[in-house]
Structure 1
């Protein structure tokens, strides 16, 4: 079974920020940064630079208009005008005098603009030049473009420690434990590990011939695979000492996380009962809110309200729990592990299940980052990332600025393995019944 959701023109990604703004402090901080520029940069813009200057101003207007229309807080024209004065007297000539290109001046100055117009507590809104914008989108969506193979050199070749299940290499039969001996005409034992890793990340559409030794038989095999775009595996099984209690580490949320989760739940059921499920979301920075919605379908009744987001001047964007076949649902006991780096969609998911009484949270307070972010492409292929809305529980309550508070606080302690602690909790609760 595969779960999917529509690909939005503007990608939505969760994060939380405070909503207050201390204008005098913000302006002082900005001016202090600009005042650090050399005095030689404080001359006025010359007529010779007028054409380039007008192009910069037009681009800044585009950025301002995008923020004014979409940012979750008010963006004032007076602030934009104050920024332009700083650009005229300091920023432009400082960057010009340092020999920077027109593109650099435009993007760096626009980044200054976004930093100035955003609220003090907003650490997310930013401008990205074209290449970083593309990389950010791939990371945010959980996408990757390569052969999907990670490993290390051993005495026979390059040991595949991980093969991405949605990569072409996996589809063609390569598995963890297999040993790669050649990539095209390159003998891997004659290369450094860094060189091999570079060969495993060719341009999209590149076809690579792989010769390898199959782990189970040591028979030599040969396949042709293509470097393509795929969603990374995000769910990994972790060992638990107590039988029939399982732990899944979810490192990030993407559009295929629900598929990964389903695969493991199906595997567990094929090997007996599931007496307890631990989801380890420590260090999980989140991902798109729709991914959190999809994952909730395994644990909450289909059709229930999941959460909603409120943009400035817009109606609520309500997310419901998808309805899935009953045989895929898990109604047993759960523990979710969180820490200070559990944020965004992972924090949304954890908070909703905690409030519904569906899980116990263990660990430390989460990041406190449940807000909606959106990416807006600009005319020169750069991108501005903006906080565009705030996330709420279905009853209208919002997520605490201090993050989620665990039901059981477990501090960092080498003597306590939190996974073992959670597994023991299941045993204790079963004995109380």
Structure 2
């Protein structure tokens, strides 16, 4: 027993020493960057005092920590780096370990290996229900239907599990098999599937009454541009006379993607430009004169429309090509850059702020709608969408109504 305790202490000491070495190496790298002027940090944070304090903490943990057999050097290293970046005080600057980086890149691409089913979790019962089955996917081929309740994945009971953990079980390597068990009409059904690459459905297309096209964008991923372009072409072929673009609850996403979409709608000119910490303009996105949407346009926004959604609504508002309707947007007018690190991890760092075509920086303020419409408490009606449809229909008719 004593030998086992000694062995655990040796392992713990090794893990702590390795993590401390990694942490101090990272500090030295950042100190070197500071010295060269490539970044600006408070050098007092990288001092002999910091090194001594870290060594003190290491000693206390080594001698007193109860769960010494559960300590992993990799976890200590990752968390020390996460903590260092968190010390910047910027909620948008984050260190991601290798696994988190892979998930992050997959989410921004809008593609993943899975079954092609949208799921939601009841906050009271914790049941996970299929909300939508995408076309031409393993879920559709296996006969999965809207309303199916997930019971297990590959024999693992998912009762009470978080939605994100269940999604992780369902996703996996392309061409790998899995069995999903669901409950339908009181019976359990086993469905065997083979995972394949599935695109996130980020654009919903619908034709409303009176020839008003409706495009709902849930987020701006790499796949969103093509989905938006296809949706717009479909509505045009169906005789669209006006368009409503719904960006409510859209948290943003890929800046290049939203600029590609705006290039289909705006006249020639600036879409958005960014400035670095020195006030130097570092990037300007522009639209050409090849495409321009000239029909009546309304854009729906709310307090959860952020970042790329505000680039979209801000540009439309500045050019006057559409009417912004809803409530004040979130107010995220800064840009993050992703830096890949040598071990497959990455650093997401705030590096610039963006400005609308008219030079507005809306960080902390948001976009004020042209027509403010608070969401009705009645869940049976969507008064904001109704106002948007009415607005563009009035523009088509050449009339105005209060």
Inter-partner Cα distance in structure 2 for 1:288 and 1:409: 27
Report the counterpart of residue 366 of structure 2 in structure 1: 403
Gap change, CA 1:139 and 1:202, over 3 Å in 2:
closer
Question: What is the deviation of 1:144?
Answer: 2.2
Structure having greater relative contact order (Cα 8 Å, sep ≥ 6): 1
Do the aligned partners of 1:277 and 1:335 also contact (CA within 8 Å) in 2?
Answer: yes
Do the aligned partners of 2:112 and 2:171 also contact (CA within 8 Å) in 1?
Answer: no
TM-score, length of structure 1 as denominator length: 0.68
Report the counterpart of residue 234 of structure 1 in structure 2: 202
Inter-partner Cα distance in structure 1 for 2:113 and 2:302: 30
Question: Residue 315 of structure 2 is aligned with which of 345, 352, 356?
Answer: 352
Secondary structure of the corresponding residue to residue 233 of structure 1 = coil
More off after superposition, 130-139 vs 74-83: 74-83
Is residue 2:167 matched to residue 1:203? no
Is residue 2:143 matched to residue 1:179? yes
Is residue 2:233 matched to residue 1:270? no
What RMSD over aligned residues (CA atoms) do the two structures have, in Å? 3.9
Secondary structure of the corresponding residue to residue 432 of structure 1 = coil
Question: Residue 336 of structure 2 is aligned with which of 369, 373, 380?
Answer: 373
Inter-partner Cα distance in structure 2 for 1:363 and 1:83: 52
Question: What is the deviation of 1:224?
Answer: 8.8
Question: Residue 387 of structure 2 is aligned with which of 412, 421, 426?
Answer: 421
Q: CA deviation digits over 1:389-408, x for unaligned, max 9?
A: 11123454422521111111
Report the counterpart of residue 123 of structure 1 in structure 2: 91
Gap change, CA 1:377 and 1:92, over 3 Å in 2:
farther
Question: What is the deviation of 1:90?
Answer: 5.8
Secondary structure of the corresponding residue to residue 320 of structure 1 = strand
Report the counterpart of residue 112 of structure 1 in structure 2: 83
Question: What is the deviation of 1:102?
Answer: 1.6
Report the counterpart of residue 259 of structure 2 in structure 1: 293
Report the counterpart of residue 306 of structure 1 in structure 2: 271
What are the ranges of 5 or more consecutive residues in structure 2 without an aligned counterpart? Answer: 1-12, 121-128, 155-165, 180-191
Question: What is the deviation of 1:310?
Answer: 2.0
Question: Residue 213 of structure 2 is aligned with which of 220, 236, 246?
Answer: 246
Do the aligned partners of 1:67 and 1:386 also contact (CA within 8 Å) in 2?
Answer: no
Do the aligned partners of 1:168 and 1:225 also contact (CA within 8 Å) in 2?
Answer: no
Inter-partner Cα distance in structure 1 for 2:201 and 2:37: 32
Q: How many residue pairs align between the two structures? A: 346
Do the aligned partners of 1:231 and 1:255 also contact (CA within 8 Å) in 2?
Answer: no
Gap change, CA 1:426 and 1:395, over 3 Å in 2:
closer
Question: What is the deviation of 1:245?
Answer: 1.1
Report the counterpart of residue 54 of structure 2 in structure 1: 88
Secondary structure of the corresponding residue to residue 135 of structure 1 = helix
Question: What is the deviation of 1:192?
Answer: 5.2
Is residue 2:228 matched to residue 1:261? yes
Inter-partner Cα distance in structure 1 for 2:306 and 2:231: 23
